[in-house]
Amino acid sequence: MRLPRGRWTSVVGPNGAGKSTLLKVLAGLMPHTGSIQLLGHDLHSLAHRARARQLAWLGQNESSGDDLTVWDVALLGRLPHQAWLAGPSPQDLVATETALKATHAWEWRRRSLGQLSGGERQRVLLARALAVQAQVLLMDEPLANLDPPHQADWLGVVRCLLETNTTVVSVLHEISMALHADEMLIMADGRITHQGGCADPATHQALESVFDHRIRVYPIEDQWVALPRADALQPAFNHADIAGGLASCGVED
């Protein structure tokens, strides 16, 4: 598998397909067979600090100290750039401020993480990853808990990263959002089943197939969207089952 530099690759597939596992392996967080090359170098031959400067990570359901302020959490992204026991440099402060403003979290910088909603926390953790200013950014379900306007903001952030030749790899369950990427990597049963351009008809066919043809990809204006196929929906219960269940619970049909 090759991930093109300076491009956005979205990773999609059914639950349990191995998407998060793959991303953790790429980040060097899980043992694996084979080899991983990061920007032309063996991933595990790089010193930890050098690797942390080149590759940033936003994990799924990440936690951080609830008593830390938003500013302190975002500033953690600058640790790979700081000497041992050294305080933040002016460059660290600028990068942290820029990241918090990019994720619209700047106004909460003095609040503690524990005071924030799930979506607000996610934006702060994204700011921490952006503050690294790494050449490669791996994100596992970065849109979790984000409402549609802030999902659109995230898409704008990714577009800005691509303009700086940053490589972005994201695991997404929001298929229509994943179709905005340059490349799509489709997984099933722990294997990569397809990799291709998001505008490629072969990618659309593979995408529909991996979800048992219960979605269909359509062109709308200048983008692609994935919608559920109503004719492919299979109700789990018939009306009689539902009515009987409600009656047994004391609820009138």
| 12 within 8 A of 209, measured Cβ to Cβ | no
Q: Which of 1, 5, 81 is nearest to 39 (CA)?
A: 5
Cα→Cα distances 28→17, 22, 43, 55, Å? 19, 10, 7, 10
Stretch 178-205: mean pLDDT: 96
Q: Which two tokens stand for residue 237?
A: 């219960």
Quick one: pLDDT band at residue 223, thresholds 50, 70, 90? very high
Let me know if residue 168 belongs to a domain.
yes
Stretch 7-29: mean pLDDT: 94
Whole domain around residue 146: which residue ranges?
8-248
Give the contacts of 243 (CB within 8 A, at least 6 positions apart).
253
Let me know if residue 203 belongs to a domain.
yes
Q: 3-class DSSP state for residue 83? A: coil
Q: Which of 161, 200, 227, 210 is nearest to 19 (CA)?
A: 210
Q: What is the CATH number of the domain that holds 50?
A: 3.40.50.300
How many domains would you assign to the chain? 1
**Residue 31: per-residue pLDDT:** 87
Q: Count Cβ atoms below 10 Å from residue 114 Cβ, excluding itself.
A: 11
Let me know if residue 1 belongs to a domain.
no
Q: List pLDDT tens digits, range 225-242.
A: 999 987 765 665 566 665
Q: 3-class DSSP state for residue 115? A: helix
Percent of the chain with pLDDT over 90: 68
Which one has a higher pLDDT value, 251 or 26? Answer: 26
Contacts by 91-99, CB closer than 8 A, 24 or more apart: 95/131, 95/133, 96/71, 96/127, 96/131, 98/130, 98/131, 99/74, 99/127, 99/128, 99/130, 99/131
Q: Which two tokens stand for residue 119?
A: 């979506």
Let me know if residue 2 belongs to a domain.
no
In whole angstroms, what is the distance from residue 39 CA to residue 51 CA?
Answer: 10
Average pLDDT in the chain = 89
Q: Which of 205, 208, 209, 185 is nearest to 196 (CA)?
A: 185
Let me know if residue 88 belongs to a domain.
yes
Q: 3-class DSSP state for residue 30? A: coil
